[in-house]
Amino acid sequence: MKKWIFIIIGVILIGIIGIGIKINSDFDKVAEAFHSEHSLKGSDLVLISDSISPNEKYKYYEYQFDNGGFGYSRVFWSVIENAENENDLEKGLIPDGFKITGWTNKSELILEKWDPYYEIKKTELENGMELNGVKINITE
């Protein structure tokens, strides 16, 4: 009889631990969704350069992250609206394989193709396409 009680208590404890682990991992996913790593307010963000478009509607940023003892991350480029309350760089991230080099007089974003040292997910962009509301001009 005591043997069955110990087995039942063991199964219940294992179930409680499993549920606790599941709840904890779900909370981590929710927290990650609310916290964008690519934010101008991030304490580990290191701004390399920024530039406002000639019509002053958009602004691009070149930045990386300070990873503490691991050094700096790779460089990222992002273009977002030039607004005081706009801080989320993630929605304007430039795809891997391209980097921002400047603006045209018509406030078009100039992108340059490049081969980064890390493995990339290929994204095809063409001249005249819009990226986060900004028309792009690609150079080789």
Q: What is the pLDDT of residues 32-56, one digit of tens each?
A: 444 457 888 888 889 999 999 999 9
Question: Are 20 and 84 contained in the same domain?
Answer: no
The domain containing residue 8 runs over which residues? 1-35
Question: Are 27 and 62 contained in the same domain?
Answer: no
Total number of domains in the chain: 2
Residue 2 has pLDDT above 90, yes or no: no
In a domain, 7, yes or no: yes
Q: What would the two tokens of residue 94 be? A: 């430039």
Question: Are 71 and 94 contained in the same domain?
Answer: yes
pTM: 0.69
Question: Are 59 and 109 contained in the same domain?
Answer: yes
Question: Are 96 and 71 contained in the same domain?
Answer: yes
Question: Are 70 and 101 contained in the same domain?
Answer: yes
What is the average pLDDT value for the chain, to the nearest integer? 82
Question: Are 11 and 50 contained in the same domain?
Answer: no
Question: Are 118 and 88 contained in the same domain?
Answer: yes
Question: Are 74 and 98 contained in the same domain?
Answer: yes
pLDDT tens per residue, range 57-78: 999 999 998 888 888 888 999 9
Helices (H), 1-140: 2-34
Question: Are 57 and 105 contained in the same domain?
Answer: yes
| DSSP at 92 | G
